[in-house]
Chain A
Amino acid sequence: MISDILITICVVVGGLFGLIGSYGILKLNDPMSRMHAPTKTTTLGVGGVLIGSMIHAVSYEGHVSVHEILITLFLLITAPVTANFLAKVFINQQTKPQDLPTPGACKLWATHDKPEHYAASEQPEA
């Protein structure tokens, strides 16, 4: 009975955060902000469902399931990489070096580090 309530709470909370994450993609109004919603809210969204699944395995099937820990681990490692790649695509296609803060002595961000931007970044110096 108690485990039923716990499983329900975990799954409902997980589903709720998943829904908010998807809603965020619709509601936020610029491409970079839109990326915040899925990368963050879905970690708790998926996490809630996985914790519910672990409690279910212990209380109904009578064994400890560790697959959920692995899924969480893989999710935590891959989510920042995906977000980083999407951000790089955005920077590459829709920004110029002068739209972003200057990175100290380096002058250019890694995505902008290509020949057509060299002249633009050297001009203010000369």
Chain B
Amino acid sequence: MKLLNRLLPHPLLTLLLTVTWLLLVNRFSLNSLLFGFFLGLLIPVATQPYWPDRPKLKKPLKLISYLGLVIWDILVANIVVAKIVVFMPNSKRRPGWVEIPLDIRTPEAIATLGGTITMTPGTLTADISAQGRSLLVHCLHAPDPDEVRDEIKTRYEARLKEIFE
């Protein structure tokens, strides 16, 4: 079991790399499946020093519904931001910083939350606090910063907490 752990430090990453290689080749064959699996074995071992702990997914299936929610929000975000860019005069726009205290502690969950915030309506992750306890978010147009913070915490962070912790 220990040997298997050393050979496969990130089994999910191995699977993902194999699938990615097959998608890159764009045609299924045994040849590319084997080479993809070879890359999937090699890359996790080579990059293990930079990513020592294996992330635990408590509820992997919830990740799919989370992905659907984020894709929908990205569509809405595009339209909202396009409207602000085209129709709202700069003098009426209220840009600002929002601080989001974090309840999640897993690095992978915080990274996912940061990425989600950047891709969704009018918000952009700018920085993390020195000890990783809160995120600094910039809003394109936020008349009410507290509302933005509460929405991110209930809509995304609560779901990520369920998935990762």
Give A101-126 interface residues, CB cut-off 8 Å to B.
101-113
Q: How many residues of B contact A (CB 8 A)?
A: 38
For residue A107, which residue of chain B has the nearest CB?
B130
Tell me, yes or no, whether A59 is within 8 Å of chain B by CB. no
The answer to whether A67 and B24 have CB atoms under 8 Å apart is yes
Q: CB within 8 Å of B: which of A8-60?
A: 17, 20-21, 23-24, 27-30, 32-33, 35-37, 39-41, 43-44
Q: Once the chains are docked, how many angstroms separate the CA of A109 from the CA of B131?
A: 8
Query: Residues of A with Cβ closer than 8 Å to B?
Result: 17, 20-21, 23-24, 27-30, 32-33, 35-37, 39-41, 43-44, 65-67, 69-70, 76-77, 79-81, 83-84, 87-88, 90-91, 100-113
Contact sample, A vs B, 20 pairs, CB 8 Å cutoff: A29-B90, A30-B95, A32-B126, A33-B93, A39-B118, A41-B82, A67-B26, A80-B114, A83-B124, A83-B125, A87-B127, A90-B126, A91-B136, A101-B136, A103-B136, A104-B99, A105-B133, A108-B130, A110-B127, A110-B130
Q: Which residues does chain A contribute within 8 Å of B69, judged by CB atoms?
A: none
Most chain B beta carbons < 10 A, residue from A40, A41, A43: A40
Q: Does B119 contact A (CB under 8 A)?
A: yes
Contact stretch, chosen from B33-41, B70-78, B157-165: B70-78
Specify the main secondary structure of chain A where it touches its partner: helix
Is B140 touching A103 in the complex (CB atoms < 8 A)? no
A100 and B85 form a contact (CB under 8 A): no
Check B126–A102 contact: CB distance below 8 A. Answer: no
Task: Please pick, from B82, B122, B134, the residue contacting A20 in the complex, using a CB distance under 8 A.
Answer: B82
Q: Is the CB of A104 within 8 A of B130?
A: no
Residues in chain B near residue A67, CB distance under 8 A: 23-24, 26
Separation of A106 and B82 alpha carbons in the complex (Å): 35
Q: Contact partner of B129 among A23, A29, A108, CB < 8 A?
A: A108
Q: A-facing mask of B110-141, CB < 8 A → 1, else 0?
A: 00001101110010111111110110101010
In the complex, what distance in Å separates the CA atom of A103 from the CA atom of B130? 9
B-chain residues with CB within 8 Å of residue A104 when the two chains form the complex = 99, 101, 129, 133-134
Residues of A within 8 A of B85 (CB): 20-21, 23-24, 27-28, 37, 41
User: Is residue B81 contacting chain A, with contact meaning CB distance below 8 A?
Assistant: yes
In the bound assembly, the distance between CA atoms of A113 and B130 in angstroms comes to 6
Q: Are the C-beta atoms of B129 and A109 separated by less than 8 Å? A: yes
B118 engages A106 (CB within 8 Å): no
